[in-house]
Structure 1
Amino acid sequence: MTRLSAATPSGHAHLGNYLGAIRRWAREGTDEDLYFVSDMHGMTTSYNPQRLRSLSREMLATLIGSSISPDRVFVQSDITAQLASLTWILECTCTFGEVARMIQFKEKSAGAKTVRLGLLTYPVLMAADILLPGADEVPVGEDQMQHVELARTLARRFNTTYGEAFVVPKAVTPKVAARIRDLANPDRKMAKSTRDEAGVVFLLDDPDMIRRKFQRAVTDGLDQVEYRPDEQPGVANLLEILGACTDQSPRVAAESITTYRELKETVADAVVEELREVRKRTQDLLADPAELDRIRATGAERARQRGEHRLEAVTRLAGIG
């Protein structure tokens, strides 16, 4: 069984990405699972090409530096020819109404003076991402369920209309992981796109920077180290981070800590230790561009080989080529 997951290089990978997804991929992934850097997904709105290219390399190095096997990783744009061909066939299988009603399209296009066509058709590209390698399961959050359902619809429609070619994937909800909040504003989640980076811990931040960010983390005036997410969201966020790094529940993590200063220092130490080897391995890869290029090229070739026969079958059944 193949599970497919992706990381979009819309910014530098941060602690929330790592504890919420990347670490789980490394710990729980199987030899059949696939992980890719979805750089083409970062083109649906205004972007800087040089920054996108740099962030894509950094994300690739981060996934491998997080102990995900290089055999399971590739960069989306390295198989552009296959994806573009399949996306066109799927677009000719899809209807305008099916993509126009996507919630993310409605949210991102609302109030915009201009809307790129790619923002509308992006869910079809995502369907191609899923269907090309024959993914059985796609772990996603609620915000992506609609996109996986479109992939299922298009797979069934093509199979029924032209002939069996696609595995019909299913969306699965991953195990609940730490939902890391912004240290400076615990009312919002930690995000790559946040302009104010004071509350975002990036995986490549040095230990001193990490400690400074935790020293400045927002708590409250109660001075009670208890896990009460509704009443004390800032403290709860710190305890959830500590619990995730030490493999214990936030409530248990709170039992031995008495002050906010101690809490911040303890969490900072745990995060520094958790990211120590990840940061080193990632930086080592980034410092060796030839090795990173070799890994990337090998991953791209494996991805192309995996989708080659399916694309040939789909093209033949669709009556082209």
Structure 2
Amino acid sequence: MKVLSGMRPTGKLHLGHYFGVIKNWVELQEKHETFYMIADWHALTTAYKNTEQIKENIEQVMIDWIALGLDPNKSTLFIQSEVKEELELFLIFSMITPKSWLEWNPTYKDMKLNLLRISDLELSFKGGLRDLVKEFLAKVPYKIVDFEAFEEVILDTLSDSFIRAVFEGLLEPEILNRLNVSKRDFYDTDTYGFLGYPVLQAVDILIYKAEAVPVGEDQLPHIELSREIARRFNQLYGEVFPEPKALLTETPRLLGTDGRKMSKSYNNAIFFADGKEEVRQKVMKFFTDPQKLRKGDPGRPHICPVFFYHRLFTNSEKTQQIEVDCMSGTLGCVDCKKIMFESLESFLEPIREKRLEVEKSIKDIKEVFMEGSQRARQIARQTLEEVKEKMKL
């Protein structure tokens, strides 16, 4: 089975990337024909103002991918922007993709609301309008086939209008002051590229005729959109594209040092490029059970991020003992972190050594990705020729 996935180059990879994505990719390359792409054009979606780091970030991703086990002899590893045919198919797909498909994509809206930190504002507007919308729909002089769906469409439309009005200064300015966002922030994310990036994602998948894409549940709408675009093209012009399926992957939600999801933007991540002492310092700062203030206090390991790491990196017998000792209060948080650090370091050390070795051969690694890009481009070129033939272009 042909499998494709990709990653935006945002810099050095951390533990969350490995357990969320890379570990699964390494396993897939043993069983399938796999294509893994550094999606540098997608990086422009939100980083178009700060492009100076993209080249360096691509190199860091290359290094981490190889160090973490992606094998160019088993997978096609390539860079999105080296396959110029993607842009031509992106233009074609843009012409046949209804705008409503993009606007109704829940991931698009969620990303925008999260970037602007206005999710709560949208929920507030919806909550205040729901009763009024129900009253309005009760008076509509037509039969409503799906009342709840129609209600959500109206609520979405109205809340979008209210949010736009806030940023246009049509409502009290105190709202923006509380949110600490501006009109510029709103329009910086209101671009054609941000709206249309799922079409480019569809190109990423379909131009290589991938049959499956490994994703988490939150990415399912993107795969469905790719299937819709494939169906629409095939119906309009003739069969070219297979409809890709989602390979749902269950991945642990790796916690960062502050107890939130591990993320570079939260400054709570442990990177594979971190040195041993740097990792030690980060581990010793880890958030723990807030009710366990000192040794002797009984702990709650099931809510403690440090214990979560024990379950990943410490052997099961020792982990069971740590759980008992934590709950009884005989194990303090400082000692618990020291044990966790040793377990984590036993996992990180060989990867760190491999990473340093790979980093010394960066010229060779770049060549590997260029060769992979050429293989990918050859496939893309053949697909584009089929597309043009079907469209009589």
Do they superpose with TM above 0.5? yes
Is the 8 Å Cα contact of residues 178 and 244 (structure 1) preserved in structure 2?
A: no
Q: 1:123 to 1:241 in 2, by over 3 A?
A: same
Q: Which has the larger radius of gyration?
A: 2
Partner of 2:19 in structure 1? 19
Offset at residue 189 of structure 1 (A): 0.6
Residue correspondence of structure 1 range 104-115 to structure 2 within 5 A: 104-110=107-113, 112-114=186-188, 115=190
Q: For residues 7 and 293 of structure 1, what CA distance do their matches in structure 2 show?
A: 17
Q: 1:309 to 1:19 in 2, by over 3 A?
A: same
Question: C-alpha offsets along residues 225-247 of structure 1, whole Å, 9 cap, x if unaligned?
Answer: 5542xxx2xx1x22222322357
Partner of 2:311 in structure 1? 243
Q: 1:250 to 1:35 in 2, by over 3 A?
A: farther
Q: 1:162 to 1:224 in 2, by over 3 A?
A: farther
Q: For residues 16 and 360 of structure 2, what CA distance do their matches in structure 1 show?
A: 25
Higher helix content, 1 or 2 = 2
RMSD over equivalenced CA pairs, Å: 2.2
Is the 8 Å Cα contact of residues 291 and 299 (structure 2) preserved in structure 1?
A: no
Which amino acid in structure 1 is aligned with residue 91 of structure 2?
Answer: W
Q: Is residue 95 from structure 1 mapped to residue 163 from structure 2 by the alignment?
A: no
Of 346, 354, 359, which residue of structure 2 is paired with 1:286?
359
Q: Is residue 299 from structure 1 mapped to residue 372 from structure 2 by the alignment?
A: yes
Q: 1:91 to 1:177 in 2, by over 3 A?
A: same
Instruction: Flag structure 2 segments of 5+ consecutive residues without an equivalent.
Output: 117-185, 326-330
For normalisation by structure 2, the TM-score amounts to 0.73
Which amino acid in structure 2 is aligned with residue 240 of structure 1?
Answer: F
Q: For residues 105 and 254 of structure 1, what CA distance do their matches in structure 2 show?
A: 43
Offset at residue 267 of structure 1 (A): 1.9
Which amino acid in structure 1 is aligned with residue 233 of structure 2?
Answer: F
Is the 8 Å Cα contact of residues 8 and 42 (structure 1) preserved in structure 2?
A: yes
Which amino acid in structure 2 is aligned with residue 21 of structure 1?
Answer: V
Of 78, 97, 101, which residue of structure 1 is paired with 2:82?
78
Q: 1:117 to 1:244 in 2, by over 3 A?
A: same
Q: For residues 97 and 53 of structure 1, what CA distance do their matches in structure 2 show?
A: 34
Is the 8 Å Cα contact of residues 12 and 64 (structure 2) preserved in structure 1?
A: no
Offset at residue 33 of structure 1 (A): 1.6
Offset at residue 224 of structure 1 (A): 4.1
Partner of 1:29 in structure 2? 29
Q: For residues 388 and 321 of structure 2, what CA distance do their matches in structure 1 show?
A: 55
Partner of 2:291 in structure 1? 221
Partner of 1:142 in structure 2? 217
Q: 1:296 to 1:91 in 2, by over 3 A?
A: same
Q: 1:253 to 1:35 in 2, by over 3 A?
A: farther
| Aligned residue-pair number | 307
Of 243, 250, 257, which residue of structure 2 is paired with 1:183?
257
Residue correspondence of structure 1 range 187-198 to structure 2 within 5 A: 188-194=260-266, 197=267
Q: Is residue 208 from structure 1 mapped to residue 212 from structure 2 by the alignment?
A: no
Of 252, 266, 271, which residue of structure 1 is paired with 2:339?
266
Q: For residues 106 and 180 of structure 1, what CA distance do their matches in structure 2 show?
A: 24
Q: For residues 289 and 254 of structure 1, what CA distance do their matches in structure 2 show?
A: 42
Percent identical: 28
Which shows bigger deviation, 264-273 or 202-211? 264-273
SS at 2:246's partner residue?
A: strand
Question: C-alpha offsets along residues 123-150 of structure 1, whole Å, 9 cap, x if unaligned?
Answer: 0000000111111111112221111110
Q: Is residue 49 from structure 1 mapped to residue 118 from structure 2 by the alignment?
A: no
Which amino acid in structure 2 is aligned with residue 282 of structure 1?
Answer: R
Which amino acid in structure 2 is aligned with residue 77 of structure 1?
Answer: S
Q: 1:109 to 1:260 in 2, by over 3 A?
A: closer
SS at 1:212's partner residue?
A: helix
Q: For residues 41 and 253 of structure 1, what CA distance do their matches in structure 2 show?
A: 46
Offset at residue 250 of structure 1 (A): 11
Offset at residue 178 of structure 1 (A): 2.1
Q: 1:252 to 1:178 in 2, by over 3 A?
A: farther
SS at 1:44's partner residue?
A: helix
For normalisation by structure 1, the TM-score amounts to 0.88
Q: 1:6 to 1:252 in 2, by over 3 A?
A: farther
Partner of 2:196 in structure 1? 121
Offset at residue 253 of structure 1 (A): 7.4
Partner of 1:170 in structure 2? 245
Is the 8 Å Cα contact of residues 39 and 80 (structure 2) preserved in structure 1?
A: yes
Question: C-alpha offsets along residues 31-90 of structure 1, whole Å, 9 cap, x if unaligned?
Answer: 5122111111110123422211111111121111111112421111111x1110111111
